[in-house]
């Protein structure tokens, strides 16, 4: 892939890049909407991601190009204001560039830039965090800055919160930054604190991307974020991580019906993360699978960020041989389902699941068999 990125950059700009960086997409293994509530989460970096090639530009302009969508869009940005329409993708690299001084880091004054991806966009695998981290590492290589990995992760999240305008937690950037092959990334979002957790041998990930996305997904995400904050305030705590199941029941009368459901999902999901981690340590993938499916049922009924398409996939996978469990992955409101399977689950079985989906919804989901991968890195400089 590196050679293809260098070739495309050279064809576009007439010379080779000075730096190539890559950041992986991620699977949200378990911990749905727990991160911005101060909770814990487990994720996996995967072997698909976003590649960024860059070179200093003498004219002092920001030349941004992408192959993340059909054709290549060029943005010449003397004024790095927020973009819309077909240029919306540029908000991710622009946001990182704008945010560098907030962390005491120098900006490359002008650069030529190309982003290329082998990560399905819109599949809930966080192409946004991948482009943020790959962009950050490319810019830092151009200015020869060497901040900590944690700072790079925080920079990506800051850009998405404050420039792109999505109130995400640290999950996506944290997993993309701290990923390690054959491991999951555990994040205690209060620190944040990052650890890697060994993944038992024989665990496989399959992604079923519905391509069905709610038109108001960003607004719905922000609404859930606000509902959780309102619930925490009503319960007299800063974040829902500070609420035990017993305290939630004691304070139920202070919550609206909606607020109670949102809080119940988050409080119980944080407990599921702890139970999954314990089951992983014991090599009990069957119990891990049961907890993954329970997570989806909570998203379906309590947090209400699932869809009919995602529910059908989970229902089908739950009764398919060699599947430990399945759940939506990512923010929800469409996107993809992750299935945890053993090594005997095959492409033929995946096709059968897709066939059930197609009979109901008239289109086939994309199917991706993922492996774990390493975190964001500079590939060449």
Q: Which CATH class is domain 204-370?
A: alpha beta
The answer as to CATH 3.30.230.10 being correct for domain 2-197 is yes
| Residues forming the active site | 172
Residue 84: predicted pLDDT: 83
Residue 22: predicted pLDDT: 97
Section 137-154 average pLDDT: 97
Residue 167: predicted pLDDT: 78
Contacts (Cβ under 8 Å, ≥6 apart) of 35: 41, 168, 169, 170, 171, 187, 189
pLDDT at 369 over 60: yes
Residue 25: predicted pLDDT: 92
- Top mean pLDDT of 120-134, 210-224, 280-294 is at 280-294
Residue 217: predicted pLDDT: 61
| Global confidence as pTM | 0.88
If we measure between CA atoms, which residue out of 296, 332, 130 comes closest to residue 221? Answer: 332
Residue 213: predicted pLDDT: 73
Residue 301: predicted pLDDT: 97
pLDDT at 114 over 70: yes
CA separation for the pair 329, 334 (Å, rounded): 9
If we measure between CA atoms, which residue out of 47, 7, 40, 10 comes closest to residue 25? Answer: 47
For residue 340, the cross-strand partners are: 205, 325
pLDDT confidence band for 212 (50 / 70 / 90):
confident
Section 78-98 average pLDDT: 87
> Which backbone phi and psi does 378 adopt, to 5 degrees?
-80, 125
pLDDT tens, residue by residue, 48-81: 999 999 999 988 889 999 886 555 667 666 677 8
Q: What angle do CA 217, 45, 375 make, to 5 degrees?
A: 120
Reading the block at residue 331, the tokens are: 């923010």
Contacts (Cβ under 8 Å, ≥6 apart) of 53: 5, 6, 8, 9, 17, 19, 20, 113, 114, 116, 138
pLDDT tens, residue by residue, 302-328: 999 999 999 999 999 999 999 999 999
Residue 71: predicted pLDDT: 54
pLDDT tens, residue by residue, 245-254: 999 999 999 9
Contacts (Cβ under 8 Å, ≥6 apart) of 367: 206, 207, 208, 209, 347, 350, 351, 353, 354
**Three-state SS letters, the chain:** CHHHHHHHHHHHHCCCCCEEEEEEEEEEEECCCCHHHCCEEEEEEEEEEEEEEEEECCCCCEEEEECCCCCCEEEECCCCCCCCHHHHHHHHHHHHHHHHHHHCCCCCCCEEEEEEECCCCCCCCCHHHHHHHHHHHHHHHHHCCCCCHHHHHHHHHHHHHHHHCCCCCCHHHHHHHHCCCCEEEEEECCCCEEEEEECCCCCEEEEEEEEEECCCHHHHHHHHHHHHHHHHHHCCCCCHHHCCHHHHHHCHHHCCHHHHHHHHHHHHHHHHHHHHHHHHHCCCHHHHHHHHHHHHHHHHHHHCCCCHHHHHHHHHHHCCCCEEEEEEECCCCEEEEEEEECCCCCHHHHHHHHHHHHHHHCCCCEEEEECECCCCEEEEC
Domain locations along the chain: 2-197, 204-370
For residue 326, the cross-strand partners are: 339
Count of CB atoms situated within 10 Å of the CB of 377: 16
Pairing of the two strands 323-329 and 334-341: antiparallel
Residue 335: predicted pLDDT: 86
pLDDT at 286 over 90: yes
pLDDT tens, residue by residue, 330-357: 888 888 999 999 999 999 999 999 999 9
Between these two residues, 70 and 167, which has the higher pLDDT value?
167
CA separation for the pair 233, 371 (Å, rounded): 40
pLDDT at 38 over 80: yes
Residue 274: predicted pLDDT: 97
Identify the weakest region by mean pLDDT among 6-15, 79-88, 192-201: 79-88
Residue 214: predicted pLDDT: 56
């Amino acid at each position: 892939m590196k050679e293809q990125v260098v070739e495309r950059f050279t064809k576009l700009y007439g010379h080779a890049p000075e730096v190539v960086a890559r950041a992986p997409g991620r699977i949200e293994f378990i911990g749905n909407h727990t991160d911005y509530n101060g909770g814990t989460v487990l994720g996996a970096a995967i072997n698909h991601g976003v590649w960024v090639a860059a070179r200093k530009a003498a004219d002092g302009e920001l030349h941004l190009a992408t192959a993340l969508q059909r054709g290549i869009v060029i943005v010449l940005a003397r004024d790095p204001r927020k973009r819309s329409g077909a240029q919306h993708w540029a908000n991710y690299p622009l946001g990182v560039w704008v945010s560098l001084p907030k962390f005491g880091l120098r900006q490359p004054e002008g650069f030529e830039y190309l982003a290329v991806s082998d990560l399905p966009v819109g599949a809930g695998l966080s192409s946004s965090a991948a482009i943020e981290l790959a962009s950050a590492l490319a810019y830092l290589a151009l200015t020869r800055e060497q901040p900590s990995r944690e700072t790079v992760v925080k920079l990506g999240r800051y850009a998405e919160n404050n420039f792109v305008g999505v109130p995400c937690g640290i999950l996506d950037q944290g997993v993309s930054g701290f990923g390690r092959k054959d491991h999951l990334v555990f994040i205690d979002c209060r620190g944040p604190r990052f650890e890697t957790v060994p993944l038992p041998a024989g665990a496989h990930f399959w992604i079923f991307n519905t391509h069905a996305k709610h038109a108001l997904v960003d607004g719905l995400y922000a609404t859930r974020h606000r509902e959780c904050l309102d619930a925490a305030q009503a319960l007299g705590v800063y974040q829902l991580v500070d609420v035990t199941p017993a305290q939630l029941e004691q304070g139920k009368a202070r919550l609206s019906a909606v607020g109670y459901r949102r809080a119940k999902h988050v409080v119980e999901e944080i407990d599921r993360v702890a139970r999954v981690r314990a089951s992983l340590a014991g090599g009990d993938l069957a119990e891990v699978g049961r907890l993954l499916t329970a997570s989806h049922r909570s998203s379906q009924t309590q947090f209400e960020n699932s869809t009919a398409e995602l529910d059908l996939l989970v229902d089908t996978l739950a009764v398919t041989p060699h599947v430990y469990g399945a759940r939506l992955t990512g923010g929800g409101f469409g996107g993809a389902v992750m299935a945890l399977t053993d090594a005997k689950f095959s492409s033929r079985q995946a096709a059968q699941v897709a066939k059930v989906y197609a009979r109901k919804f008239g289109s086939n989901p994309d199917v991706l068999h993922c492996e774990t991968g390493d975190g964001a890195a500079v590939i060449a400089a």
